[in-house]
A and B are shown apart, each in its own frame.
Chain A
C-alpha cells in the first residue's frame, strides 16, 4: 500500500535541526526545540508503527518514480519497530543532553548534529534502495564523526581518528559491494535485487560480493576481527553521545545485515558457518575484554561487542525461531545499552569519576537512584522475568535444535561473564563503602531540582520501557515473531514494493 507520509519522522528531525541551525548559539532555545522535536518525532513514530501493524507494509515512491526505477521507501514491521525504538532513544538522549552536555559543545552545534544523526538512522531503517542505504549510512557517520570529536579534548580526537578511519573503510567496502551488485544485476532496489540476484549465472561471484557486505557491516556493527575501533573510541565522547552510539550505531549494522541477508544474499552453508565463527569469537573476545576493564564505560564498550555476537550468531542460524530471538534481543539491547551509557553519565555526575577502584557507597547515598539502576543492570544480565532473559531462550532452543553446541556454550559463557562483571560492578560501585580519603567532587547535589529531574527522568523512562519489554514479553514476542516471519518469507515485501508484476 502506498502512503506518502512514511518519511514524516525524518522530516520532523530535519526541520528541528534546521530551526536549531537558525537559532545558532542560542542554547536554551535549542534545548527546548530538541526535546520538543524528539517528542513530536516519537508521536509520529508511534502512529507509523500502529498503521503498519494494522494495514501491512507501506511504501512510498520518492519523486513519483515507480519502483524499481526510483528510490523507494518501505515501512515494514522491522523498520517501524526500529524507528520507534530510535525515537524513544532520541527523546531520552535529548532530555539527558540538556544537562549532560557542556555549554561549549552546545555552542558548536551539538543539537543540530544530534538530530541529523537521528534523521540518518531513521532514514536508513526506512529506505528500500541499497544505494540510498549507503547515503543514509554516510549521513550517520559524518554526524557521528562530528559528535565524536566535538569539544576537542586530546583523548577524544585520538579516539575520533580511529573511529573515522575504520568507518570510512567500512563505507568503501559497502560501496564497492554496491558497485559490483549493480554491475551484476543492473538494479539497486532491494526488492528487485532479491529477484534478479537469483537469475545471475555466476553464483560464486554473488557469494564473493556478499563478503564485501559482511566486511562493511561487520566493521559497523563491531564483530570479531573488525571490532577493535569500538572499545578504543566509545569511552571518549560525553555519555549522552556514547549512549546514542552504543545503543543505535552498531545496531544499524545488524539491521543492514538482517535486511541484506534476508532479502538479497540468502545465507548458504558457507555463509552461515562464517557468521557463526565470527559470532563465537565476538562473544569470547568481547567478554574477555569486559573482564579486565576497570573503567565503567570501557567495560560497557566491551559488553556491546560481546552482545553483538549473540545477534550475529542468531542471524547465522537463520531460521524463524533464531530470528525471533535476534529481533527480541535487538529490541532489548537498544533500550538497555542506551540506558547503560546514560547511567555511566549519571554516575560520573554523582561521583566525579568512572574508575571502579575509586567509586563506592552509591547505594548508601542514593538508594532510590541505585534501585532504578539495578533494574536496568538486571535486565542486561537477563534475570527472569526481565527483558534480557526471553530472547536467550529462543537462541538456546535453536542452537540445540541445529546442534550448534559451540555457540550454545559461548552463549552461556557470554551470559555468565556479563553476570560476573555486572555483579562486580554492583559490588564495587554501589555496595562497597566509600574509602575515607577519597574526596568526592559530586556536581549532582548542587544542581537545581529540574536539572536533576532531567538527568534521572530519561533513565527512568528507558527503564520503564525495559520493564515493559520484560513483563509484557508476550506482546513483544508477537511483534518479533511477525518480523521473523517477514524476514524468512520475503514475498509480501517484494510484492508491496514492486506491485504484482
Chain B
C-alpha cells in the first residue's frame, strides 16, 4: 500500500510540475491543484498508514490499548484542503478575469506596458 501511494504521489508531483511549466493559464491552475493534492497525500503517507484502527476510542474503555491511526495528519490535511479550496476558487476567478481582459490563455501575453492608473 505504501509503495502504491508513493507511486501515485510521485505521479501527482511530476504532473503538477509539468503542468505549471506550461504556458497556458488553465494548465497552471490544474498544476497547482495537482501539487496541492500530492502534498496532502504526502502528509497522509508520512503519518504512517494504520489499517482499520480509527483514532476514536470505544465508549467502553478509557485508554487506547491497541495501535491506532494518528489523527494529526488528518487534521493537517483537512486544513490544507480547506485552504487550497479557498486559493483555488480565488485563482479561478482571477484567471477568468484576466482571460476576459487579455483575451488569451498564454502566460507570455501578460506583459502589457505600464499604464497610468487613476489613483495612488
Contacts and interface: CB of A to CB of B under 8 A. Distances in A.
Q: Is chain B in direct contact with chain A in the complex (CB below 8 A)?
A: yes
A183 B46 contact: yes
B120 interface: yes
A476 to B, nearest CB: 31
B107 A161 contact: yes
A240 B117 CA distance: 14
B102 A154 contact: yes
A100 to B, nearest CB: 4
Nearest to B111: A158
A102 interface: yes
A360 interface: no
Contacts of A152: 97
B98 A238 contact: no
Given A157-B94, A179-B42, A353 B87 contact: no
Contact of B119 (A135, A168, A238): A238
A499 B75 CA distance: 26
A242 to B, nearest CB: 10
Interface in A173-198: 175-176, 178-180, 182-183, 186, 188
A138 B39 contact: no
Interface in B1-47: 20, 25, 28, 32, 35-36, 39, 42-43, 45-47
Contact of B42 (A100, A153, A176, A352): A176
A180 B115 CA distance: 45
A135 B120 CA distance: 31
B87 A183 contact: no
B114 A158 contact: no
B120 A349 contact: yes
Contacts of A131: 76, 79
Interface stretch (A10-18, A142-150, A389-397, A418-426): A142-150
A100 B119 contact: yes
Q: Interface residue tally of chain B, by bracket?
A: 35 or more
Contacts of A142: 83, 86-87, 90
A145 B90 contact: yes
Contacts of A458: none
Contacts of A179: 39, 42-43, 46, 76
A183 B47 contact: yes
Contacts of B57: none
Nearest to B98: A157
Interface of A is mostly: helix
Given A142-B87, A158-B111, A182 B47 contact: yes
Contacts of B110: 158, 161-162
Contact of B95 (A161, A238, A352): A161
B101 interface: yes
B90 to A, nearest CB: 6
B118 interface: yes
B20 to A, nearest CB: 7
B91 A164 contact: yes
A247 interface: no
Interface in A273-330: 295
A146 B119 contact: no
B97 A188 contact: no
Residue among B28, B46, B47 with most chain A CB within 10 A:
B46
A149 B46 contact: no
A145 B43 contact: no
B50 interface: no
A161 B20 contact: no
A239 interface: yes
Contact of B114 (A146, A178, A295): A295
A141 B86 CA distance: 11
B98 to A, nearest CB: 5
Given A169-B20, A182-B46, A188-B72, A158 B116 contact: no
Interface in B52-80: 70, 72-73, 76, 79-80
A101 B43 contact: no
A322 B42 CA distance: 37
A146 B79 contact: no
Nearest to B33: A168
Given A154-B112, A157-B97, A158-B98, A182 B43 contact: yes
A154 B111 CA distance: 10
Residue among A100, A154, A240 with most chain B CB within 10 A:
A154
B79 A135 contact: yes
A404 interface: no
Contact of A138 (B70, B83, B112): B83
A102 B120 CA distance: 8
Given A145-B90, A172-B39, A161 B46 contact: no
A239 B47 CA distance: 44
B32 A160 contact: no
Contact of B76 (A141, A182, A352): A182
B97 A146 contact: no
Given A142-B90, A179-B43, 6 more contacts: A102-B119, A142-B87, A153-B115, A161-B110, A179-B76, A183-B47
Interface of B: 20, 25, 28, 32, 35-36, 39, 42-43, 45-48, 70, 72-73, 76, 79-80, 83, 86-87, 90-91, 94-95, 97-98, 101-102, 107, 110-112, 114-120
18 contacts: A100-B120, A101-B120, A102-B119, A145-B94, A154-B101, A158-B112, A161-B107, A161-B110, A164-B91, A165-B20, A168-B32, A169-B32, A179-B42, A186-B70, A238-B117, A240-B120, A345-B120, A353-B116
Interface of A: 100-102, 105, 131, 135, 138, 141-142, 145-146, 149, 152-155, 157-158, 160-162, 164-165, 168-169, 172, 175-176, 178-180, 182-183, 186, 188, 235, 238-240, 295, 345, 348-349, 352-353
